[in-house]
Amino acid sequence: LGGSISRALQQMSNATIIDEKVLNDCLNEITRALLQSDVQFKLVRDMQTNIKKIVNLDDLAAGHNKRKIIQQAVFNELCTILDPGKPAFTPKKGKPSVVMFVGLQGSGKTTTCTKYAYYHQKKGYKPALVCADTFRAGAFDQLKQNATKAKIPFYGSYTESDPVRIAVEGVERFKKENCDLIIVDTSGRHKQEAALFEEMRQVSEATKPDLVLFVMDSSIGQAAFDQAQAFKQSVPVGAVIITKMDGHAKGGGALSAVAATKSPVIFIGTGEHMDEFEIFDVKPFVSRLLGMGDWSGFMDKIQEVVPMDQQPELLQKLSEGNFTLRIMYEQFQNILKMGPIGQVFSMLPGFSQELMPKGQEKESQTKIKRYMTMMDSMTNEELDSSNPKIMNESRIMRIARGCGRPIRDVMDMLEEYKRLAKVWSKMKGLKIPKKGDMSAL
């Protein structure tokens, strides 16, 4: 996919006469690529029409940065599609909120419920899980197991067959227990059936959720729009979570889900484990969709930020897939040198919202400095190892003692490292441009 887009853009910049035909050819290539990423046909067609309106042929003909003009236009257009214009409901601490999960069987609801609960628990909420899936045998056991592992209170029944009743009982119980995030897991079916939607409607009416979350498997392809729309027609869907983004699917269905529900994507699932869960970030997602690998924009920026003489070395290391703690340390140094940050690393997942939320630059800097202090207590072996497993308990305790910070903080820092390493591992095998030839990317 990335290849075909780069090829299309390459053709574009090689053409000496820019006319409408060249623009069309280029857009057709991109269209094909987006369809392969499961972006809905109608959305792609609309985007194509919009791009033609936006991209000024005279600008292209004038010769400056043709590749960038078209790429940027496509990129912006896709970002716009993913922004429905109103933020999703966010639960408030200390005030009971009910969040109902809906989606087809196998989409990842039960797994994602726990991830969502665990995520908020770490942020200081008091979550609880209610299993209103009476359709699938073993549903309650699955939820119970997950909840127990995360030490989250749960409610369900092996004998009661009425999902509405369980949902209502569970919500009432946890409201009494002063939980502020009551999560209702529901059943799914293999197919979209009237009975499923009727059940969802009833559970929703009985529990009056503050938020209905639609969970969608990233690999469902072109079916995304109809599926999302069907749920939206029976319950007031207010946000979307896309699961299994660790697989092969690029998740173009997310655009359909947003278009069909008029609600934003708020999280993505990136694995089966409880902490494989990320805040959804539009720009890196679109880059991935276009096969740009978060890379082209980053390359433009890195030139402004990383001292020129350090670039080839850094890129070389990253392309080898060795994201060590030392590289993280060096990146932190660069970030701090830059003063106000944000834009550069917001091009990359991992470096963006979690570590440096918008509007909290000061807090982010403090955090980065704290991380660096802890890393100053690490040995060279630890800093240069690309195997996170060497960081065992005794090493962690030694570092905590060395820098005078609680063990929890050291573990936070290592978690941050693991998350970044995972993101950067995708850069492995990247072709490195020769020195002085950065603009070729």
Task: List contacts with ligand GDP (CB under 6 A).
Answer: 103, 105-111, 188, 243-244, 246, 269-272
The rounded distance, in Å, linking the Cα atoms of 269 and 212 is: 17
The item of Mg ion, ligand GDP, none sharing an interface with residue 243, based on CB under 5 to 8 Å by kind, is ligand GDP
Residue among 278, 296, 312 at smallest CA distance from 415: 278
Nearer to ligand GDP, 106 or 342 (CB): 106
Q: Two tokens at 231? A: 């749920």
Contact 325, 377 (CB under 8 A): no
Measured CA to CA in angstroms, residue 321 lies from 72, 310, 415, 425 at distances of: 28, 17, 18, 5
Q: Given the complex with Mg ion, which of 29 and 199 has the nearer CB atom?
A: 199
User: Which stretches of the chain bind Mg ion, using CB under 5 A?
Assistant: 109-110
CB of 196 to ligand GDP, least distance (A): 12
Instruction: State whether residue 279 is helix, strand or coil.
Output: strand
274 vs 372, beta carbon nearer Mg ion: 274
Residue 135 CB, shortest distance to Mg ion, in Å, is 9
CB of 247 to ligand GDP, least distance (A): 6
The residue at minimum Cβ distance from ligand GDP is: 269
Of 299, 356, 300, 281, nearest to 82 (Cα)? Answer: 281
Residue 269: enclosing H or E segment and its boundaries? strand 265-269
Min dist CB 30 to Mg ion, Å, is: 37
Given the complex with Mg ion, which of 131 and 292 has the nearer CB atom? 131
Q: Tell the smallest beta-carbon distance from residue 410 to ligand GDP (Å).
A: 27
**Beta partners for residue 127, in sequence order:** 181
Taking the complex as a whole, how short is the minimal distance between the CB of residue 188 and ligand GDP, in angstroms?
A: 5
Give the nearer residue to Mg ion in terms of CB position, either 109 or 232. 109
**Closest CB 101 distance from Mg ion, rounded Å:** 9
244 binds, among Mg ion, ligand GDP, none (CB under 5 to 8 A by kind): ligand GDP
Shortest distance, CB of residue 113 to ligand GDP, whole angstroms? 8
Report what 284 binds from Mg ion, ligand GDP, none; CB cut-off 5-8 Å by kind.
none
Neighbours of 394 (CB within 10 A): 8
229 touches, from ligand GDP, Mg ion, none (C-beta below 5 to 8 Å by class):
none
The conformation of residue 339, written as its DSSP 8-state character, comes to S
Which partner, Mg ion, ligand GDP, none, binds residue 103 by CB below 5 to 8 Å per kind? ligand GDP
When CB distances are held under 5 to 8 angstroms depending on the partner's kind, the choice from Mg ion, ligand GDP, none that residue 218 binds is none
- The single-letter code of the amino acid at 245 is M
Q: 416 is written with which tokens?
A: 């941050």
Residue 114 interacting partner from ligand GDP, Mg ion, none (CB closer than 5 to 8 Å by kind):
none
Which of ligand GDP, Mg ion, none has residue 271 at its interface (CB below 5 to 8 Å by kind)? ligand GDP
**Cβ(118)–Cβ(151) below 8 Å:** no
Of the pair 204, 296, the CB lying nearest Mg ion is at 204
Structure tokens at 266: 């708020």
Nearer to ligand GDP, 186 or 263 (CB): 186
What is the 3 state secondary structure string of 365-402? HHHHHHHHHHHCCCCHHHHHCCCHHHCCHHHHHHHHHH
For ligand GDP, the closer CB: 276 or 320:
276
What secondary structure does DSSP assign to 173-185, as a single string? HHHHTT-SEEEEE
Tell me how far the alpha carbon of residue 399 is from its chain's centroid.
31
Handedness of CA 128, 271, 345, 285 (dihedral sign): negative
| Encoded tokens for 409 | 């903080």
CA distances, 360 to each of 131, 352, 427 (Å): 37, 12, 28
- Shortest Å, Cβ 131 to Mg ion: 8
Cβ nearer to ligand GDP, comparing 97 with 186: 186
